[in-house]
Chain A
Amino acid sequence: MATVIPAAPQISLEHVQKTYPNGTVALRDVTLEIPKQDFVFLVGPSGAGKSTLVRLLIREEKATSGIIRVEGQDLSRLKRRHLPYLRRKIGMVFQDFKLLPNLTVFQNVGFALRVTEGALRHLKPKVEEVLSIVGLEGKENKFPDQLSGGEQQRVAIARALVHDPRIFLADEPTGNLDPATSWEIIQLLLQINARGTTVLMATHNREIVDVMRRRVVAIEGGQIVRDEDAGGYHAPALESH
């Protein structure tokens, strides 16, 4: 799946600034590089700018200044009609799952293929494939409200996987889940990462970040205050042993 092209990072931000129309500066001078197959935790307090960063990467928002590249594509120059094709390369999950309550598990996942005009012949095998990756075989005909929170997040993950994304963005994916379930979701993200997909996860979950010892990018007040490999939720100096 992953064709490794060295040097060029898969995601890069250069001096990115985001100021909302009301004057709020959400990000200031953010420079960040994420290579292919990386697994990155994006940490920081609420309102620090994590969600803004995620929204910029799927171009739900445009940067006020600076350059954002995803797979070599300069997002500020991306035409609106090409935007859907960027989104198909990026799998995205959220704290609130964003499942459609009137559709079954199978239909929720298939929806992503249907609305992107994938040939319907391939829909069933593909949906079955991603549902088995997230471990939801046998729950195809359940509706979201018949599932636990963890299962609902798995459906959302399966939906994000149907286009074989090269990048997986997770915005607080464990925010509504209990610790045990959170760990199951993290295991799933690791598994996706192991298949060659770059994973960027914005989170508040200190325990997970501390245990995983993966790359940590910390944002505070719209600025990157720390970027270390195999890091913890807080900077080493602040951690009490």
Chain B
Amino acid sequence: MHRLWNRIDFAFSSAWQNFWRNAAVSVASVLIVWVVLLALGSLLLVLHSLDQIVALEKTKASAISVYLADSTPLSSAMDFKLQLEQDPRVSNVTYVSKDQALARFRQLPALDPSVIDTLGTNPLPASLDVTVKDIRNLGAIDQAVRTSPLVDRSPATNYEPNVIDKIILLARVAGIAGLVLIIGLTGLSVFIIMLTIRTAIYLRRKEIEVMKLVGATDWFVRWPFIVEGLIVGVIGAVVAVLIVGFGYRPAVINLQSVLIFVPLAFDPSYLRVVLAAMLGFGLLLGSLGSYLGVRRFLKQ
């Protein structure tokens, strides 16, 4: 018990001294760990948001809104609706008036209703919301309705054949780019931690010489440097975790007000997973860097 305590006490006090003795290098390695973890946390959250958007778009994908020109009389709109309902590919058609469209628009999250009020008039078109039995027929319906004179021109429908594909592609590109960036930064941070440990070993070379001379074991000599790497990892991780932890919610709210039509949501349970992953990765970086440091530079 006493021996264990002595070992822990020696490792931590030496590590802490090392950390401050070459403060500039230590701060550099904390910064790089911080950057890596910030990139990792942001990437995980962005990919998660894109996933959520894809899932939502998929449920919406079996419907399109056919926008009607403002000049279309209600009776014509109803005829058109009936005509569409008779199409065997269509399962359901709902008429949405201009007023209903405006009311719906006001429901959008993070939208300032006064924006609409200042216009004075209602800019939103009435629409027929068409649900199809099979998503694959959506394109054909879109083509068919566009020819009708009743239909608005700008735009005719909200049909965007590859919006999901685009989001999936965006997620994939962001994922790969982020991964490459994080791998690169990980390598860099391990290297910088290794240099930090090497500097600490150099500054302690006299002590290490004496320790070996009087019979300290290899691990007794190594532990302070491993602990120093862990301290670097933990400090970098804690700062990054605080920033992501407190910054995620305001970031989502701000983005919601900019990307009005994108269904972004705050997900606290996923945030906890991300923060835990960041902390774990920080510890991994610190221990890997310092292990490589002592392995390469303490070989007698």
Contacts and interface: CB of A to CB of B under 8 A. Distances in A.
Q: How large is the interface on A (under 10, 10 to 19, 20 to 34, 35 or more residues)?
A: 20 to 34
B2 A119 contact: yes
Q: How large is the interface on B (under 10, 10 to 19, 20 to 34, 35 or more residues)?
A: 20 to 34
Interface string A38-59: 0000000000000000000010
A134 interface: no
A134 to B, nearest CB: 16
A132 B5 CA distance: 28
A111 B220 CA distance: 13
Contacts of A159: 214
Contacts of B214: 87-88, 111-112, 115-116, 159-160, 162-163
Interface in B237-289: none
A115 B218 contact: no
B3 interface: yes
Contacts of B209: 98
Interface in A75-105: 80-81, 84-88, 92, 98, 100
Contacts of B10: 114-115
Contact of B215 (A98, A116, A119, A120): A116
A241 interface: no
B6 interface: yes
A114 B216 CA distance: 9
Contacts of A100: 206-207, 210
Nearest to B209: A98
A111 B206 CA distance: 13
A84 B216 contact: yes
A115 B3 contact: no
B216 to A, nearest CB: 4
Contacts of A114: 6, 10
Given A87-B215, A88-B215, A163-B215, A117 B210 contact: no
A116 B218 contact: no
B295 to A, nearest CB: 14
Q: Chain A CB within 10 Å — which of B6, B211, B213 has the most?
A: B213
Nearest to A117: B3
Contacts of A58: 213
- B contacts with A: majority SS: helix
A117 B7 contact: yes
B216 A120 contact: no
B166 interface: no
B217 interface: yes
B212 interface: yes
A204 to B, nearest CB: 22
Contacts of B206: 98, 100
A127 B119 CA distance: 89
Given A81-B218, A98-B206, A100-B206, A119 B213 contact: no
B299 to A, nearest CB: 10
B14 to A, nearest CB: 10
Contact of B213 (A80, A92, A118, A121): A92
Contact of A111 (B3, B210, B218, B221): B210
A112 B207 CA distance: 10
B119 to A, nearest CB: 75
A134 B209 CA distance: 23
B264 to A, nearest CB: 56
Given A87-B212, A98-B206, A100-B210, A120 B218 contact: no
A116 B216 contact: yes
B220 A117 contact: yes
A88 B218 CA distance: 14
Nearest to A115: B216
Interface string B1-28: 0110111001000000000000000000
> Which 6 pairs between the two chains have the least Cβ-Cβ distance?
A87-B215, A88-B215, A112-B214, A115-B216, A84-B215, A119-B2
26 contacts: A80-B218, A81-B218, A84-B212, A84-B216, A84-B218, A87-B215, A88-B214, A88-B215, A98-B210, A100-B206, A100-B210, A111-B210, A111-B211, A111-B214, A112-B210, A112-B215, A115-B10, A115-B211, A116-B216, A117-B7, A118-B3, A118-B6, A120-B2, A120-B5, A121-B2, A160-B214
